[in-house]
A and B are shown apart, each in its own frame.
Chain A
Amino acid sequence: MNTLINGLCLGGIYALIALGYTMVYGIAKMLNFAHGDIIMVGAYAVFTTLSIMDHPIPAVIVAVIICTVLGIVTERVAYRPLRGASPLAVLITAIGVSYLLQSVSQLIYGAGTRPVTIGNWGSLEVMGISISISSLLTLGLCIVIMVGLTLFINKTKAGTAMLAVSEDRAAASLMGINVNGIITLTFAIGSALAACASVFYLMQIPAVSPTLGAMPGIKAFTAAVIGGIGSIPGAMVGGILLGIIEKVCSSIPVLAPYTTAIEFGLLVLILMVRPTGLMGKTRREKV
């Protein structure tokens, strides 16, 4: 039971990050490999704010603001000039941005790992099982954020415009939609989600280092592909699935050392059966 809750909790974090990957892919048609490092920047923002004010709320706010601005700036400076360039050039640029962010934070904070503690709320006793409050908080907030995002995409004008741009960018611009504005908005939302994820991640693993973003980044990317990249519900399902599998495997002593291998093995298996992921659209070429 506890394993399952921890799994859901980790899954929620993966899902938040995966949403950033999948939204950017769906709308800007690019893989933003610097997305994982946005989480790292968010974590350092939390770390720095906590060292000034020892309270989690301002830390969260600062992290969200910094990540959102960072997301918008990288899109503006690094990706927008390459709009229309080959996908490979954009991919390499994203990897470049990733290394840049890692190196800059290494310059500022040094390469070492530093401890961060975001509140210590202890745990709750429910039906004889003790569940940590931070896990419950993570789970609850992840659900709230995901429901909010789904409503935003499906019910608002800006959300519909995002869907329209992801379907046909040229037709959308001819319908009066400011495509650059929508892409900026996508990066802003994706990065804000990454900032939230970084806070929850620090609640699970209370330490920051310049390469912190790499592992959750690659796992969340895997989750997005398992769910079907470009699909928003897919990213949620993929993230939660991966989180549960990770926690369940690592709780079984025999499987524990192979946890990561099992996760990526699952990716291979799912792609063999469903090349577009669990919820990806199968596009049939018309002859």
Chain B
Amino acid sequence: MSEYMLETRSLGISFGGLKAAQDINLKIKKNQLYGLIGPNGAGKTTVFNLLTGVYRPTTGTFLLDGEELVGKTPAEINKKGIARTFQNIRLFSNMSVIDNVLVGMGNSSKCNIMQSIFRLPKHFSTEKQMRSAARELLRVFGLDEERRTVASNLPYGSQRRLEMARALATNPKLLLLDEPAAGMNPQETAELTATIRRIRDEFDMTVLLIEHDMSLVSGLCDELTVLNFGTTLAHGATEEVLRHPDVIKAYLGE
């Protein structure tokens, strides 16, 4: 067990000459709700793509619970315990709500393909366990009633919740949320704040989230890192960071 759940050490990537992110040093403790903010194009989603193995960093490294994960494929990193949601929802939209969650669960089940093909007794028992675990998870997000609905037919807010449920189904240690409140009204945002807190408490989760909505960030996160033009502008306790003159300048201009 390491002191930090996630630690990045001068993590960076450049595309040709463009330094999309450089020298990112995050230190996130277990059970923390940590915010990553910054103006558009600051490199926030790039950081998520680095942490999930979509991009391979050109400099630096990152450790999950003390284990170095650089160079692993997205699927391997997910198995090690990092799961994410997307800024623009990317559910398996033609599959049912419960199937979306079951896909996420697939990799943690102990049943192999041969057992599934030949439908051995073990297949049925794990299948049953998975289904009940999936419904449990859907209940937390208030989606159990709609489990047979095709994902694309869900209302927008429910789709966002389903994305979180699907990410949690992979049994992660660290959950990355990319703009969870995008497109939500103030009431939905308030509900979302409660849901994220509940995820932290009930699933013993560490959460790193990207957000533009300052009311969500200040109500939820105890620590923040602010990015601008791919570099770290400020980091520290939420209150202080939001009062930091450079941060105000980056958001509001001179």
Residues of A at the B interface (CB closer than 8 Å) are 152, 156-158, 160-161, 163-164, 167-168, 170-179, 185, 281
B49 shortest CB reach to chain A, Å: 10
Nearest-neighbor residue (CB-CB) of A185 within chain B: B113
Q: Does B166 contact A (CB under 8 A)?
A: yes
Nearest-neighbor residue (CB-CB) of B90 within chain A: A171
Task: Mark interface residues in B16-51 (1 if CB within 8 Å of A CB, else 0).
Answer: 000000000000000000000000000000000000
Q: Which of B74, B83, B104, B167 contacts A173 (CB 8 A)?
A: B74
Q: Which of B103, B108, B111, B170 contacts A164 (CB 8 A)?
A: B103
Instruction: Tell me how many residue pairs across A and B have CB atoms closer than 8 Å.
Output: 80
Q: Does B79 contact A (CB under 8 A)?
A: yes
Q: Does B84 contact A (CB under 8 A)?
A: yes
B117 touches A152 (CB 8 A): yes
A174 touches B117 (CB 8 A): no
B207 shortest CB reach to chain A, Å: 16
Per DSSP, chain A at the interface is: helix
Residues of B at the A interface (CB closer than 8 Å) are 52, 54, 73-75, 78-79, 83-84, 86, 90-95, 99, 102-104, 106-109, 111, 113, 116-117, 123, 127, 166-167, 170
C-alpha spacing A40/B195, complex, angstroms: 57
A160 touches B99 (CB 8 A): yes
C-alpha spacing A116/B54, complex, angstroms: 51
Nearest 7 pairs between A and B by C-beta? A176-B107, A176-B78, A156-B116, A173-B74, A171-B90, A167-B92, A164-B103
Nearest-neighbor residue (CB-CB) of B80 within chain A: A176
Hey, which chain B residues are within 8 Å of A281, CB to CB?
A: 94
Query: Given known contacts A157-B127, A175-B106, A176-B79, what 7 new A-B pairs fall within 8 Å (CB)?
Result: A158-B113, A158-B117, A168-B92, A175-B166, A176-B104, A176-B108, A281-B94
A157-B92 contact, Cβ under 8 Å, with A175-B103, A176-B104, A177-B103? no
C-alpha spacing A98/B111, complex, angstroms: 37
A174 touches B84 (CB 8 A): yes
C-alpha spacing A161/B100, complex, angstroms: 10
Hey, which chain B residues are within 8 Å of A152, CB to CB?
A: 117
Q: Which of A167, A168, A170, A185 contacts B54 (CB 8 A)?
A: A170
A176 touches B170 (CB 8 A): yes
